[in-house]
A and B are shown apart, each in its own frame.
Chain A
Amino acid sequence: SQQGEEDPQALSIQEGENATMNCSYKTSINNLQWYRQNSGRGLVHLILIRSNEREKHSGKLRVTLDTSKKSSSLLITASRAADTASYFCATDASYSGAGSYQLTFGKGTKLSVIP
């Protein structure tokens, strides 16, 4: 079953506004990652936050992680039209020990930034 669930499913904003996407998950994780995908293109890794971290910044991205609530948020500040894409959260978790891991994705948030 899918671990991460993004909210909202779709988001439409004007250029210059901030975009916030949320992700909830169900089990213990090693880290949580956000990816971006332009239509018809491959996945681009944006940022990784470890389970012992609460907030992380990368350029105009800000990610928070609340392990007590099993939730994360991705903030894109001052959005541009070029930020239009689908954004996915994914959780990395151990699978039955022995060095085995599993990365589980949500269904994504489709962001449209209107010029």
Chain B
Amino acid sequence: DVKVTQSSRYLVKRTGEKVFLECVQDMDHENMFWYRQDPGLGLRLIYFSYDVKMKEKGDIPEGYSVSREKKERFSLILESASTNQTSMYLCASRHTGTSGGYTFGSGTRLTVV
């Protein structure tokens, strides 16, 4: 089974800190994604990547950046954390092919104080 691992389950950071959220998949998938989930808003796409060093903005990229130096690792960076970035962050990896499904990590609940 594909495994998508997010390095932290819970994080508490201070306003203004630089925050790194890490995501690793173990199946050589090309497409990886970062979402945030907030009550009543569903899952919103922040950034995605379809190859090493390739990245595309999703619906809400402001305040975030990403890094994909290796195929298996996709990092989400909050350059200067703010309280409105308190949220659940979910990473996903897409199975290869046109009919691919997705595997999600278990999520990182980030609180910015």
Contacts and interface: CB of A to CB of B under 8 A. Distances in A.
A3 B67 CA distance: 26
Contacts of A100: 31, 48, 50, 54, 56
A103 B33 contact: yes
A101 B45 CA distance: 12
Interface residues of A, number: 27
Given A42-B106, A43-B90, A98-B50, A92 B42 contact: no
Contacts of A90: 43, 102
Interface string B69-83: 000000000000000
Given A100-B31, A107-B40, A45 B107 contact: no
Query: Chain A contact residues: over half helix, strand or loop, or mixed?
Result: strand
A59 interface: no
Interface string A94-108: 111011111111111
A103 B59 contact: no
Interface of B: 30-31, 33, 35, 40-45, 48, 50-51, 54, 56, 58-59, 90, 92, 94, 98-107
